[in-house]
Structure 1
Amino acid sequence: MLIELLLVMFALLVLGDYLLKKRRNDMIHYMPGPKPLPVLGNVLMYRGISQADIIDFILQNRQKYGTCYRVWLLNQLAVLFSDPADVEVLLSSSKYIKKNNFYDLLHPWLGTGLLVSNGRKWHARRKIITPTFHFKILEQFVEIFDQQSTVLVKKMAQYADGKTVLNIAPLLCLMTLDIIAETAMGTKVNAQTNPEFPYVSAVISVTYMFARRFTNAWQRIDWLFRLLSRKEAKLFYANIKLMHDFTDRIIVERRAVLEQELGINETAPNATDTEVGLKRRMALLDVLLQSSIDGKPLSNEDIREEVDTFMFEGHDTTSSALTFCLHLISRHPLVQAKLFEEIRKVLGADKDRPVTQRDLGELKYMECVIKESLRLYPTVPLIGRNFEEDVVIRGKPIPAGTNVTIGIYIMQRDPKYFPEPDTFRPERFLNESLEDGESRNTYVYVPFSAGPRNCIGQKFAMLEMKSTLSKILRHFELLPLGEELRPTLTIVLRSENGSQVGLKPRNYASTSNQVVD
């Protein structure tokens, strides 16, 4: 009797699964993809796939199924696009801006800040925050970039003997955390000199826990995470509370200072009216404190969402980008020599001279190096969207509720657009076209995303990376010591073993630093 009952239940489960998916299957009947099992879909194909394997796994699927294919994860339909023409439709639209449900994992820390918010809230917050990246405010931030990169090179100097293998990734992480704390909150956390400071430790700990949860399907489900990983979950939520308490305190203190210094009150004019009128250095927090939506000022909780979002996005992504870029430079001596030649030409022989925004703008070859590094190792290799209604993308119907993934990493290594795609060749960005002269679709290279939901901080990030690279290369020659990179996908692309390099004090008198024609 029990067996018969189980068989009936199984049959009903299979039937229910079929009926639940039928409409969506009918809509995507044209789309290739691995054959799904009843109920489970294609979940089993991910068995044994580690974080380090995910990118290669996606590349293999792309070769097998093409630039648009689907997979079923239980009842969730997922579609991956890697044709720049499709990607252009998706990213250029102001309609398809809802992030997919993987981003829900970030809610405990970030709430519904700019990264994960949608609709009217996203549009309103984006409008408020955009003035933070006005060129006159960015100019003030360059001073912070220079100061913190100076601390970094002093920390690095102890390893500059030409033979010690240094993993530079943790040092970069602390530097970018110092920068984003001062530019977003207007406060110093001294992460580089005091990495055990509770807020600093909490940010690093939670960031890595997010990465593990993001790639572990069971840990994504909160009650399972709390049940099966009790100790880790307890630490995770305790650290989030610590960060929230710290940010709340800074907000209250900063609001009091602004009210005293500027005579503002709860109905102060929008930041767009005062964004460059203040003599004091502006931080993101200052802009938010002076902003309002529909005549109402943002609450402390609203402000905390955005500050926490920038703390998360502003240190993790930039440190990852610098990790890959410095490693590539260390393995390509001609590129490094050309970079140093440009740095000397723009900044002169004084390696301690502070840089200006204008200086950084003149480092054209360095910009090509950064762009090429981001092509090979985009910090965010996959972008997620979710369709709230049925849509048609270039004649391809996609049902409502579908999670869409845009394969940035895949497109940027496509030989159709980038000859010798696995070769590090910064010169390919000296002109923005294919080698045969054909124009390249601008949506084939989108390391900062594109369209209305592009990365609001990309100019900030480029200036920060240029400042840091110029400071490091003025002080040290990077040597190809240690292990090669082992890229692994978490929330952002990382190297599993960091960035291992050697350092030698830069000799300005040496002729070996000159580029040979």
Structure 2
Amino acid sequence: MFWPILLLSGLLGYLFLIKLPKRLSLLNKLKAIPGPPSLPILGNAVDLSVHKREVLSVIGRFFQEYGPRFKMFVGMQPYVILANAADAEKILSSQTQIEKSGDYDSLQEWLGLGLLTSKGEKWFQRRKQLTPAFHFKILEDFLRVFNEQCNIFTKVLERKGKLVFDIFPVITLCTLDIICETAMGKSVFAQQKSDSEYVKAIYRISELVQYRQLRPWLHNDFMWRLSSAGKENRKCLKILHGFTDMVIQEKKMERKNGTRKSDETNEDNFVTKKRQAFLDLLLDAQQTDTTLTDQNVREETNTFMFEGHDTTSAAVSWTTFLLSLNPEHQAKVQQELDEIFAGDLEREVTMTDLARMKYLECCIKESLRLFPSAPFVGRKLNMELKLDDGVVLPPGITVWVYIFFLHRDPKVFPDPEKFDPNRFSQEDAEGRNPFSYVPFSAGPRNCIGQKFAMMEEKVLLSSIFRRFRVKAAERLQDVNVLCDVITRPEMGLHVTMKKR
């Protein structure tokens, strides 16, 4: 009996003499921050364990009741939720508070420790290594892929005729084709074969990640593995990792056999530069960096796949829908495109064309204000952070910058629910705090692919509005918005299209 009593005494001593005082000290430091009442152990998990369509309204209610900064608990973990530019600037511009919050841990099964989820020296090294992959000249080469896939995309739209249809999945399949070819140099023909295993797996895994995030009892790896959702997640991972590994090995075999060439000759014997995928650039880097293993290559390729298709498809879908609801702004976009292309529906988009799409860019930015692709970004504080009003956030807590509500600050954006692209004209945007609008995050951990995303979105949207007049088949107030891993509509965005 001696050893069990000793162990129990040691455990109780640890809890009461070390853990409890630390916990009470932490709670005391958070007293200055208001927030909803929470339950022991569960925290506010009960408030958040609602249908996914209601999560946004719960968070919105907390902001209404407690202001643009409040605290809540997910299980035992304290969160501070921010939605004002001054606080956002403090956290996002910090060169030291760059560790992503534990909410991103659920992505590690899929993405490993890639650029999105890594921290410390590994993140700094990888960011430095990957930045050249988004050089202007490489992005210009990707423009060929955008144009080729948009040709397929517009033919898909033409077959819709005058039917009411959900634009969201149609756009998503196109962006998936684009990202597979630009990231891996592999065609998956998602627009032609939307029922492929890979396409279905990449759709489903994002839903499973969000499902786990909102259920503290599934944060434990053992409980997650036992759950039905965890088992389904493993099936998706097997498909996704298997596909990426296959492509990596195919690419490496090409290199080994000498079949990969930097240039290719077309049917008229003209030599053209062979298009490189993101994966090719990683494998090139692997030749000189022995720390870049095949697993690292897979992590970054999967991260690019994850961040580069769902976010872009959401941005294009929301912009299309908002323009379908606002015909006066749609007409201005079409007038701009008519001036650029002089009515030529077949000519491919060039870099010069993209630079001239000023009003379309304002529409994209306004859509990202209302429906940012990533509804929030999270940080885990590794040291205390003093805010402008003197409130000190202690280390160990999780901070969310809730972009969805930050972009609706009426002091910055009057009549915030109104779709008004003129907010992003040079005159209106001048003097605005840059941290009041952060659709691609900001600071050292901003989105490395934001130029790639804006280019792709312009090509897709110009492909639509050069050829079609789009009309909404439902009201915006009837669309249930879900803040999952991305901001998406629960039941889609329904429109009709008519050839111009």
TM-score (normalised: structure 2): 0.90
Taking only the aligned residue pairs, the percentage that are identical comes to 40
**Alignment correspondent of 2:419:** 424
Q: State how far apart, in whole Å, the 1-side matches of 2:28 and 2:286 are.
A: 46
Q: State how far apart, in whole Å, the 1-side matches of 2:287 and 2:387 are.
A: 34
Q: Residue 446 of structure 1 aligns to which amino acid in structure 2?
A: V
**Aligned counterparts, 1:363-382, within 5 A:** 363-382=357-376
Q: State how far apart, in whole Å, the 1-side matches of 2:316 and 2:483 are.
A: 16
SS for the counterpart of 2:191 is coil
**Alignment correspondent of 1:141:** 142
SS for the counterpart of 2:28 is helix
- Shift of the 426–397 alpha-carbon distance from structure 1 to 2, 3 Å rule, reads same
Structure 1 runs of 4+ aligned residues shifted over 6 Å read 12-17
The answer (yes or no) to whether the contact 1:21–1:75 under 8 Å persists in 2 is no
Aligned-residue offset at 1:361: 1.3
The answer (yes or no) to whether the contact 1:77–1:402 under 8 Å persists in 2 is yes
**Alignment correspondent of 1:64:** 65
Deviates more, 1:17-26 or 1:57-66: 17-26
The answer (yes or no) to whether the contact 1:214–1:491 under 8 Å persists in 2 is no
**Alignment correspondent of 2:249:** 252
Q: Residue 174 of structure 1 aligns to which amino acid in structure 2?
A: L
**Alignment correspondent of 1:132:** 133
Aligned-residue offset at 1:160: 2.2
Deviates more, 1:18-27 or 1:81-90: 18-27
Aligned-residue offset at 1:413: 0.8
**1:413-456 CA distance string (max 9 Å, x none):** 1110011111001011112646xx7x211000000001110011
Q: Residue 459 of structure 1 aligns to which amino acid in structure 2?
A: K
**1:276-313 CA distance string (max 9 Å, x none):** xx932121111111215994251111100000111111
The answer (yes or no) to whether the contact 1:215–1:490 under 8 Å persists in 2 is no
**1:184-209 CA distance string (max 9 Å, x none):** 11111111111233322222222332
**Alignment correspondent of 1:46:** 48
Q: Structure 1 residue aligned with 2:387, among 393, 396, 404?
A: 393
The answer (yes or no) to whether the contact 1:214–1:490 under 8 Å persists in 2 is no
The answer (yes or no) to whether the contact 2:47–2:58 under 8 Å persists in 1 is no
Do structure 1's residue 448 and structure 2's residue 440 form an aligned pair? Answer: yes
Runs of 5+ unmatched residues, structure 2 = 1-11, 263-271
Q: State how far apart, in whole Å, the 1-side matches of 2:47 and 2:21 are.
A: 23
**Alignment correspondent of 1:5:** none
Pairwise CA RMSD of aligned residues?
A: 2.4
Q: Structure 1 residue aligned with 2:467, among 467, 475, 480?
A: 475
The answer (yes or no) to whether the contact 2:375–2:485 under 8 Å persists in 1 is no
Aligned-residue offset at 1:61: 1.4
Q: State how far apart, in whole Å, the 1-side matches of 2:41 and 2:202 are.
A: 38
Q: State how far apart, in whole Å, the 2-side matches of 1:353 and 1:129 are.
A: 32
Q: Residue 381 of structure 2 aligns to which amino acid in structure 1?
A: F
SS for the counterpart of 1:31 is coil
**Alignment correspondent of 1:352:** 346
Aligned-residue offset at 1:263: 8.9
Do structure 1's residue 187 and structure 2's residue 182 form an aligned pair? Answer: no
**Alignment correspondent of 1:234:** 231
Q: Residue 23 of structure 1 aligns to which amino acid in structure 2?
A: S
Q: State how far apart, in whole Å, the 1-side matches of 2:330 and 2:437 are.
A: 24
- Shift of the 415–371 alpha-carbon distance from structure 1 to 2, 3 Å rule, reads same
The answer (yes or no) to whether the contact 2:48–2:214 under 8 Å persists in 1 is no
Q: State how far apart, in whole Å, the 2-side matches of 1:188 and 1:294 are.
A: 28
The answer (yes or no) to whether the contact 1:14–1:38 under 8 Å persists in 2 is no
Q: Residue 139 of structure 1 aligns to which amino acid in structure 2?
A: E
- Shift of the 286–251 alpha-carbon distance from structure 1 to 2, 3 Å rule, reads same
**1:399-424 CA distance string (max 9 Å, x none):** 22101000211111111001111100
The answer (yes or no) to whether the contact 1:14–1:39 under 8 Å persists in 2 is no
**Aligned counterparts, 1:28-177, within 5 A:** 28-47=30-49, 49-161=50-162, 164-177=163-176
**Alignment correspondent of 1:203:** 202
Q: State how far apart, in whole Å, the 2-side matches of 1:98 and 1:215 are.
A: 20
**1:95-130 CA distance string (max 9 Å, x none):** 111111111101111101111000111111111111
**Alignment correspondent of 2:3:** none
The answer (yes or no) to whether the contact 1:17–1:39 under 8 Å persists in 2 is no
- Shift of the 263–329 alpha-carbon distance from structure 1 to 2, 3 Å rule, reads closer
- Shift of the 402–330 alpha-carbon distance from structure 1 to 2, 3 Å rule, reads same
The answer (yes or no) to whether the contact 2:173–2:190 under 8 Å persists in 1 is yes
Q: Structure 1 residue aligned with 2:480, among 486, 508, 511?
A: 486
Q: Residue 414 of structure 1 aligns to which amino acid in structure 2?
A: D
- Shift of the 21–294 alpha-carbon distance from structure 1 to 2, 3 Å rule, reads farther
Aligned-residue offset at 1:349: 1.0
SS for the counterpart of 1:494 is strand
TM-score (normalised: structure 1): 0.87
Aligned-residue offset at 1:243: 1.6
The answer (yes or no) to whether the contact 1:173–1:316 under 8 Å persists in 2 is yes
Q: State how far apart, in whole Å, the 1-side matches of 2:231 and 2:97 are.
A: 36
Runs of 5+ unmatched residues, structure 1 = 1-9, 265-277, 507-517
How many residues get paired? 476
Q: Residue 210 of structure 1 aligns to which amino acid in structure 2?
A: V
**Aligned counterparts, 1:177-326, within 5 A:** 177-229=176-228, 232-258=229-255, 260=258, 279-292=273-286, 295-296=289-290, 298-326=292-320
SS for the counterpart of 1:478 is strand
